[in-house]
Amino acid sequence: MIDSHCHLDREPLLSNLSQVLTRAKDVGIEKLLTICTTSTNYNNILNIISKHQMIYGTFGIHPHETKNYFVEKDEIIKKVNMSSKIIGVGETGLDFYYNNSDKDVQLKSFQNHIDAAIALNIPLIIHSRNAENETYDVLKRNYQKKLKILMHCFTGSTDFALNLVPLNAYFSASGIITFKNSTELQQTFKKIPEDKLLIETDSPFLSPEPNRGKKNEPSFIKFTAQKLASLRNIELNELILLTTNNFNILFSK
């Protein structure tokens, strides 16, 4: 299995990383992608990936952080080129859940990340919340075969997902699909093409059932994988092989 989105630079994962990785390996995880959200935590990510062969990283600024950590395209490219194990740009995107007072800044930051991902020819990891129309409009305007998209922790509508598929988008299922009140999202993940599916934990956030309420960690991905296999009516081993292959295809240059 591959955890396509986690935050190993966050506590309690960082200070317990050796135990976290042991438990991850015990459930069959072979790779982890630890995701950058601010410029200040990037050094921790570089340090982590240099010490652990199975961990890869990204560089990007989370939409909530754009006011404090705005970066231009050239700076993103420079940061990514600091290590061959930085294999994605993000997480970036749009989030208007709490307010949209910084909407223009988020949109400018998102565009800078898109331009950098195209220039680098590596995937763009996107966070989208309460911004379906705006996210789609930006991606549609920037569509080209070279732009590879990963919709992380996807919680959008079925229409949003199916509109993004022709734009070369992949969709990562998180522990949210295990929640009892996520029936609409579960139906959406039944309809996404199988060659566009990935899985993630977003740990230490969004712990899946039966561990909801606890701090999440990569080993808990097994519960998300089991739920997604059940939703798709396939064997767990098939789901694991499928999502692993999809990750490797998306992140191959």
pLDDT single digits (tens) 90-124: 999 999 988 766 899 999 999 999 999 999 999 99
Burial class (CB in 10 A: 0-12, 13-18, 19+), 123: buried
**Measured distance CA(216)–CA(230) in Å, rounded:** 21
Average model confidence (pLDDT) across the chain = 96
- What pLDDT shows up at residue 250? 97
Question: Residue 82: its pLDDT value, please?
Answer: 97
Per-residue pLDDT, averaged over 192-203, amounts to 98
Overall pTM > 0.75: yes
Residues whose CB is less than 8 angstroms from the CB of residue 164 and which lie 6 or more positions away in sequence, other chains included? 136, 139, 149, 151, 171
Q: Which residue has the tokens 């919680």?
A: 155
| Mean pLDDT to the nearest integer, 194-211 | 97
Instruction: Give CA separation, 174 vs 37, 106, 155, 162, in Å.
Output: 18, 24, 9, 18
With H, G, I as helix, E, B as strand and everything else as coil, classify residue 9: coil
Least confident piece of the model among 19-23, 98-102, 188-192, 215-219:
98-102
**Is the pLDDT reported for residue 17 higher than 80?**
yes
pLDDT-based confidence at 144, cuts 50/70/90?
Answer: confident
Instruction: Tell whether domain 2-250 is in CATH 3.30.1540.10.
Output: no
Q: What mean pLDDT comes out for the span 228-248?
A: 98
Predicted pLDDT of residue 134: 96
What is the arithmetic mean of pLDDT over 161-177? 97
Going from N- to C-terminal start, the domains of the chain cover 2-250
